[in-house]
Structure 1
Amino acid sequence: MPAPALADATHQQPSSGVYYEIFVRSWYDTNGDGIGDLNGVTAKLDYLQSLGVSGIWLMPINPSPSYHGYDITDYYGINPQYGNMHDFEHLLAEAHKRGIKVIMDLVINHSSNEHPWFKAALDPNSPYHGWYAWADKYTDLDTLSATGVSAWHAQPAGMKHAGMRDYLGIFAPTMPDLNYDNPAVRAEMVKIGRYWLGKGVDGFRLDAAQHIYDDLQSDVDDPTVLAKNIAWWTEFRHGIDAVNPHAYVVGEVTRPSATELAPYFKPLDAVFNFPLATQLIDCARRERNLSLAVILEHTYAAYRAASGRLDDAPFLSNHDQERVMSQLDDNPQHMRMAAALLLTLPGQPYIYYGEELGTRGHKPDSAMREPMRWQRTSGGRGETTWEAPTSGNGAEVSVEAEQVDPNSLLHYYSMLIHWRSEISALRDGSFRVYPEANDHLVVWERADAQGAVLVVHNLSGAPQSMPLDVPGEPHFNHLLRQSTTGATIDAEGLQLPPYSSVVLQ
């Protein structure tokens, strides 16, 4: 069934729980300098509302010497290339009018080496010296960091101070790690969180949340290091609760299993489910369920055991990973099935900007962060030019082209997101495995106080069927939603066309 036209953005709609990640530099340019800006985000809020998202995550918007912004020089400021504080406050006000929450990247594992704190810290007599970690005569300067690069770095050229030793920077020499054993550092980071909540942000995406104390390769599986990470984020959570106890805080924790992610659910609302992203894409690519529903049930059991909640932050890709369409070798049907899996899961699913268009992008990182394509013609109004496109996203991979095509991926995404707004069980419900008829199908039950629904995905290019009179299971016999035409229920059970998803009641 073709997706309906994108919703009228002038009216608020029930929440979908879906968040949308925006790289401001690549999003929309309102002043003609080739760089996206905060006013550009505001200008496209109606697009986001029509898509159905209920929250946006802004990649770093603080001043920074880099294009990506993950090395900050002022935690209380706005990158002047993006605008000013008035522009940001206007964005918050307009987003909130539309029922869209705004969370911002909080990059506090490290600062920029151009931050005034670090420049002052090069003087051993400065009070900021203890804000960073320094090698001593026993330090092995060849030690690798937890991220696989050199952990220790010599002082920047032109900033050398007599008698100073190497400093810790587990990502790059331009990103010196802050020392969280220093109470002054911890107090400052709580202050920063409170400041932005006071401005009206709805929460934070915590960059490198596991690496506050997870610095060296020897730290990676150390339970003491994990305990220190959890203790810090608990302190942070308590600190910001004084300003907004309902602030939403989601962490970047790149661990390979649910049991390793689960401890972070104690201080945080959610962490990004990196292992699940791989599983969802593998299922779509191979057209097999790969025991996905069972894996998910174990995942959610681990989360509930840690926090008493069923929550998650599932996604398919982000700014550090090859785009989904590229991972799926430009297969549009596999892309649709990956999206359908994602958007029928519990928690707050995340979409990376342009994913809803099928935007392509391989490494290097800058090619995965290319300008959002608004018009069919490259270089049209608002399109950013800071990075020359190299990923082959042609005229058809644009908002203009896909908005007028009822069968486009954009309409497909909007349809799935609106399912979450319209069917509360998809957004807020529990999760339970339902027996699958064959390995081309993925099936799960979602239920809340309004009732239970059965979600069935046919991952394959062939029609599939499954019985609905399973002993001991609820009997679902009404087609509530279907992603394409042709699904039917008869005496034999459910008949599904190729590459399709249905919600049964």
Structure 2
Amino acid sequence: MIFYELYLRSFYDSNDDGLGDFLGLKNKLDYLCNLGIDYVWLLPIMKSPAFHGYTVSDFYEVNPVYGTLEHLKNTLKEGHEKGLKFVLDLPINHVAVSSEWFQKALKGEEPYKNWFIWANEKADLDEIRHWDDSKIWQKIGDKYFYGIFGPASPDLNFENPELWNEIKKIFKFWLETGFDGFRLDAAKHIFDFDIEEMHFKYQHEKNVEFWKEMTKYIKSIKEDAIVISEVWDAPEIVRKYEGIFDIGFNFPIAEDLKMTLKKESPSEFNKTLIKCIPEYLPDGKVLSKSGNFLTNHDMTRILSDLKDEEKVKLGFSILYTLPGVPFIYYGEETGMKGIPKDVNFTEDSQEPFHWYENGFGPGQTEWKGYKFNPPYSGESVEEQKKDKNSILNTVKSLISFRKNNLWLENAKVEILNFDENVVELRGYDQLHEIIAYYNLKSSISSFFLQNGQELLSIGNNYIENNVISLAPFGVHIIKKK
């Protein structure tokens, strides 16, 4: 499985209003198919006052800037006919202030007033969340509501069973609309507040029970629906949720792999595998597949982070040769740049996708100015297609390699060797075996190759008499004979 995270507003515009939309996606399904994508993960497309869509005002309506529900259904239907599947990003732990649910709750209407958490005499109105100095209590009129993600996002109170039933209706609605699964935003935040003591507290056991019931329900509606969780935390926390979801995002490997590339350190690479994907090491056991990625919509784009196209290619090469499920964020395949201010201000990592080198043309979205990706910056599809060594063509080659070796998704891995320059990685199952060589340094490394058939070579690598000169940040993969 190859996943593509897509921000619709920035992708392709079908009606010349400067905003990407459902029919624009329909017009560009072939681009995704030619890239080799299997699943399109759509960031929230429900009705929302926010550009990013993560504060939902109506879970049963599409955002009108993207078109109509019929436009969406037609797009999903045509995508299915082309072999694509679609995953919907559903942020259910909070709503928008403009949500009918919250507006009725403010008026004291049943059952909505009990669907939110309101401050009482026990509440410390100055309590801040643990990752920054933002307050968790938000004032509106003469009331204070709990909003861990800020004043635009009233948190829902899942202590109420009727709310669980409402969430099930939402899942059912979107599955019947044509989606093939869900990406579950902020999965550890369903129960993150102690209602008795009135303070912030992760309650992972309650979260686990909630998601067990929801995933069981989702699969009762659509047996092959795929469910992906976002638990952004340390490995020991992430593992509390293993086995509930089909795929769990592996934030630790994303962060550690990028740091390894920055340090150009084979020893750090070895530590990263042991720490972040132990379930794929020889004695490990996979409960939920590892969702492997380099960046997403909340993070600095990979080229802005690594500042070196060859390192970016190496990062993708590692991603597509490791077990688990690879994800790519739209525009990373063409080398888009972007540095969000923080997780509350992510516009700068969600700039318009460039189809044309001059930045303008039919279907080009223009909802935001080009702060990080100006015209003639070389990261358009038009320009990248011309260069066989471009990031785009490298990613296409890697996806093609991956799809020719589908067994890698469930493979075991082990580090055979590493020195100050090169990592030698073995991937295998009962029927297959490959050896991957990664040069983590900015200088050429020469060594004897094991006997085998060449499957993939990234970089200006040179082989003579079974000795390879591996290019700086180059990759060479062989199939063992």
TM-score above 0.5, yes or no: yes
Change (3 A) 1:180 1:267: same
Residue 499 in structure 1 maps to residue 481 in structure 2: no
Partner of residue 239 from structure 1, selected from 212, 217, 220: 217
Residues 1:315 and 2:293 are matched in the alignment: yes
Question: 1:429, CA displacement in angstroms?
Answer: 3.6
Select which of 113, 120, 124 maps to 2:104.
Answer: 120
- Unaligned 5+ runs, structure 1: 1-16, 469-474
In structure 2, how many angstroms separate the alpha carbons of the residues matched to 1:150 and 1:127?
27
Identity value in percent: 33
Is the contact made by 2:90 and 2:182 (CA closer than 8 Å) also made in structure 1?
yes
More moved, 119-128 vs 286-295 = 286-295
Q: How does 1:33-48 map to 2 (within 5 A)?
A: 33-48=17-32
Displacement over 6 Å in runs of 4+:
303-307
Distance 2:270 2:70 in 1: 46
One-letter amino acid of the counterpart of residue 386, structure 2: V
- Aligned-partner Cα distance in 2 for 1:449–1:246: 26
Pick aligned residue for 2:439 from 452, 458, 476? 458
1:227 maps to which residue? 205
- SS of residue in 2 equivalent to 1:75: strand
Residues 8-55 of structure 1 deviation map (CA, whole Å, 9 limit, x = unaligned): xxxxxxxxx111111111111110111110111111111111111111
From 127, 146, 151, the equivalent of 1:173 is 151
Match of 2:265 in 1: 288
Quote the residue 1:136 is aligned against: 120
Contact 1:107 1:207 in 2 (8 A): yes
Task: Tell me, yes or no, if the aligned pair for 1:113 and 1:175 is still in contact at 8 Å.
Answer: yes
Q: What pairs with 1:414-453 in structure 2 (closer than 5 Å)? A: 414-426=396-408, 428-453=409-434
CA spacing shift, 1:247–1:460, aligned 2, 3 Å: same
1:348 counterpart = 2:325: yes
Distance in 1, Cα, partners of 2:82 & 2:349: 29
Counterpart residue number, 1:152: 137
Among 380, 393, 396, which residue is 1:398 paired with?
380
- Tell me how far apart the structure 2 counterparts of residues 310 and 455 of structure 1 sit (CA, whole Å): 24
Once residues 334 and 385 of structure 1 are traced to their aligned partners in structure 2, the CA distance between those partners, rounded to angstroms, is: 30
Normalised by the length of structure 1, the TM-score is 0.88
Cα RMSD for the two superposed structures: 2.2
> Could you say what secondary structure the match of 1:445 adopts?
strand
Deviations 1:207-240 (A, max 9, x none): 11111112489756x5xx1111111111111111
The count of aligned residue pairs is 469
Q: Which amino acid aligns with 1:484?
A: G
Per-residue deviation, residues 122-147 of structure 1 (Å, max 9, x unmatched): 12342211011111112111111355
8 Å CA contact 2:119–2:144 kept in 1: the answer is yes
Q: What's the CA shift for 1:442?
A: 2.7
Contact 1:271 1:312 (C-alpha < 8 Å) held by counterparts? yes
Which deviates more, 343-352 or 57-66? 343-352
Instruction: Return the alpha-carbon distance in structure 2 between the equivalents of residues 215 and 196 of structure 1.
Output: 28
Partners of 1:28 and 1:63 in 2: how far apart? 19
Contact 1:26 1:369 in 2 (8 A): yes
Change (3 A) 1:215 1:44: farther
Q: CA deviation at 1:307?
A: 7.1
Aligned residue number for residue 78 of structure 1: 62
**Cα distance, 1:306–1:215 mapped onto 2, change above 3 Å:** farther
Relative to structure 1, the CA distance from residue 285 to residue 132 in structure 2 (aligned partners, 3 Å threshold; closer, same or farther) is same
Q: Deviations over 1:60-83 (max 9, x none)?
A: 100101111111011011110001
1:488 to 460, 463, 466: 463
1:366-414 Cα distance to aligned partner (Å, 9 max, x none): 1111100000122211111111111144421100111122121110010
Kindly provide the amino acid, as one letter, of the partner of residue 483 in structure 1.
I
Instruction: Give the 3 Å change call, closer, same or farther, for CA 134–58 of structure 1 in structure 2.
Output: same
Distance of aligned partners of 1:77 and 1:207 in 2 relative to their CA distance in 1, 3 Å threshold: same
The range that moved more, 481-490 or 412-421, is: 481-490
User: Partner of 2:47: helix, strand, or coil?
Assistant: coil
Describe the SS at the equivalent of 2:227: strand
| Larger strand fraction of residues | 2
Quick one: structure 1 residues 450 and 393, their matched pair in 2 at CA, closer, same or farther if it must change by over 3 Å? farther
C-alpha distance in 2 between matches for 1:293 and 1:90: 46
Q: 1:198 to 1:458 in 2, by over 3 A?
A: same
Q: 1:49 aligns with which of 33, 56, 59?
A: 33
Shift of 1:303: 8.1
| Per-residue Cα deviation, 1:258-278 (whole angstroms, up to 9, x for no partner) | 222112122111221111111
The change in CA–CA distance for 1:328 and 1:203 in structure 2 (over 3 A counts) is: same
